Amino acid sequence: QDLLASSSMPRFAIARRLHGTRHGASYLNVASRSRTCSSSARAAPESGYVQERLVSSTSLAEVLDLIHSGPDRWGRISLSTAWHRLGKFADRSRDKRGIKDAMRRLSDVHLAKGFEGYKPRNLGNIIWAWGKLQYRDGTVVQAGCKMVVDAPEKFAARDLSNIVYALALMRHKHWDLLASVGDHLPGRTAEFSPQGVSNMLYAWALLGYKRRPVLRALCDSALGTLANYKPQELSIVVYACGMLDFRHEDLIAEACQQTSRRLAELSEQNISNIVHGLGRLEFKCADTLRAVCSHSISRLPGFTAQGIANTAYGLGTLRFRDDEFVRALCQHIPSRVTEFTPQNLGNTAFAFGSMKFRVAGVVRCERDQRKSSSASRSVEREDRTCFDRVAQKK
């Protein structure tokens, strides 16, 4: 009691200091009893202490240390939190072996106990973590997804979008889950945030799930609200619709207006994704494309090779030619030609061909890149000559 009243130490640290004493055991029992879970879901007494440490963890090492001690006696909430923390910290670590071992230990618990009794939010956190971790245990994933298939109405909109997005990251096409969520989703689109809508569209695109009533319901819910979308979310909506070949005229027109107004907010990747999406949809909004070209000239160094190729490809597909922008591309690409993959070069050559520019050197460059990466310097010299020639031509 004195420690609790006077110390600024976290509760779990106080519990650790008192661990093994009568007072420590009492504290841990109180912490465990205070958990708001059903009696059937309550785990062993130390579960409360584990949950405190998982919640307050700040590194992967802390999480791995706890999981290594053995999660077989943990409660459902602690197991869910462990998965969530693994997914949260995994990107920052190179300890792939430790992560793999931790996933195996948690998986063994699920194989033994299943997923009955998990709250929807906890199950949503687990599946979200699977996506971040690129989890591949088909038996465990199938068991977890079945709980969603049986009762999608119990899940919050945020959890549903995270679950479908996680499946997309895993490239796991669980058709029963997608069908169940698709049947349930149209009546709840008003509950989805801009991030939820954009993530859901992008997930459908990655999975190749082109169920038009679902796509229309999502796009209808976004109509008139794109001003509230962050730049990344706005670009994903257009890019995903392009990947899905789903042309929602009113929404894409609104996206074009927002793009023209918010170019300064958009990253180079956002811009290339939008132009690429418009190209896939064959949606030629000349005012927006002209504004994009004018704005992007000074930002070309910030584009990746993939971004340049996607932008050029989108413009080429739309047969939209802005001479000043094309000349800027011709002057910029030679210094970075070694960054381009053969696919990037092919898309760029296609674009300039569609714009009626001679780009034979780009085609040769693509062929040489495929033959040998050691020829990059001679390729650059050849391509520089080509682009100098193109830049002088109108």
261 pLDDT above the threshold of 50: yes
193 alpha carbon, distance to own chain's centre: 15
Q: How confident is the model at residue 371 (pLDDT cuts 50, 70, 90)?
A: low
- The four Cα atoms 43, 46, 47, 51 give a dihedral, to 10 degrees, of 170
Task: For residue 47, name the pLDDT band (cuts at 50, 70, 90).
Answer: low
Q: Where are the alpha helices (DSSP H) in 134-267?
A: 138-150, 157-170, 175-184, 194-207, 212-222, 231-244, 249-261
Rounded CA gap, 321 and 256, in Å? 18
Token couple for 291: 């504004």
Tokens of 289: 């494309």
**Distant-in-sequence, close-in-space partners of 198: CB < 8 Å, separation ≥ 6:** 229, 232, 233, 234, 236, 237, 240
Most confident of 65-74, 167-176, 265-274: 265-274
Read off the amino acid at residue 337: V
Q: How far apart are CA 240 and CA 2, in angstroms?
A: 58
When the pLDDT of each residue in the chain is averaged and rounded to a whole number, the result is 83
Q: Report how far Cα 332 is from the mean position of its chain's Cα atoms.
A: 30
- Pick 47 or 11 by higher pLDDT: 47
Give the model confidence (pLDDT) of 30-45 as tens digits: 343 333 333 334 434 3
Say what the pLDDT of residue 137 is.
86
Cα separation, 189 vs 98, whole angstroms: 39
Please tell me the distance from the alpha carbon of residue 68 to that of residue 82, in angstroms, as a whole number. Answer: 11
Compute the average pLDDT of residues 131-148. Answer: 92
- The pLDDT, as a whole number, for residue 59 is 92
Looking at residue 27, what is its pLDDT?
37
pLDDT-derived band at 21, boundaries 50, 70, 90:
very low
Q: Which residues of 256-276 are buried (b: 16+ CB within 10 A; e: fewer)?
A: bebbbeebeebebbbbbbbbb
Please report the pLDDT score of residue 34 as a whole number.
37
Total residues belonging to the chain: 394
3-state secondary structure 235-262: HHHHHHHHHHCCCCHHHHHHHHHHHHHC
Mean pLDDT value of segment 213-228: 95
- Whether residue 23 is predicted with pLDDT greater than 70 in this model: the reply is no
**Confidence band of 358 (pLDDT split at 50, 70, 90):** low
| Calculated CA dihedral for residues 247, 239, 136, 182, nearest 10 degrees | -30
Rounded Cα distance between 394 and 383, Å, is 18
pLDDT of residue 32: 39
Q: What is the pLDDT of residue 95?
A: 86
Check the CA dihedral 78-82-87-89 and report its sign.
Answer: positive
**Cβ pair 214, 239 in contact under 8 A:** no
Task: Tell me if 54 sits within 8 A of 66, measured CB to CB.
Answer: yes
C-alpha distances (whole Å) from 382 to each of 159, 348, 356, 358, 370 are 53, 16, 20, 14, 15
pLDDT, tens only, 314-354: 999 999 999 999 999 989 998 999 999 999 999 998 998 88
Judged against a pLDDT cut of 70, whether residue 375 lies above it is answered with no
User: CB of 376 within 8 A of CB of 338?
Assistant: yes
Please give the share of the chain, as a percent, with pLDDT higher than 70.
78
Confidence of residue 233 (pLDDT cuts 50, 70, 90): very high
Question: Within 13 Å and on the Cβ side, how many CA atoms surround 68?
Answer: 11
pLDDT above 80 (res 248): yes
Angle (CA) 103-105-106 rounded to 5° is: 65
Contact 159, 121 (CB under 8 A): yes
Q: Is 122 exposed, middle or buried (0-12, 13-18, 19+ CB in 10 A)?
A: buried
Rounded to whole angstroms, the Cα distance separating 75 from 299 reads 52
The stretch 103-129 carries a mean pLDDT of: 95
Residue 7 has pLDDT above 90, yes or no: no
State the pLDDT at residue 353. Answer: 87
Above 70 in pLDDT, residue 378? no
How much is the average pLDDT of 180-195? 93
Q: CB neighbours of 117 closer than 8 A, spacing ≥ 6?
A: 38, 40, 41, 76
Cα dihedral 168, 174, 177, 178 sign:
positive
Q: Are 318 and 355 in contact (CB under 8 A)?
A: no
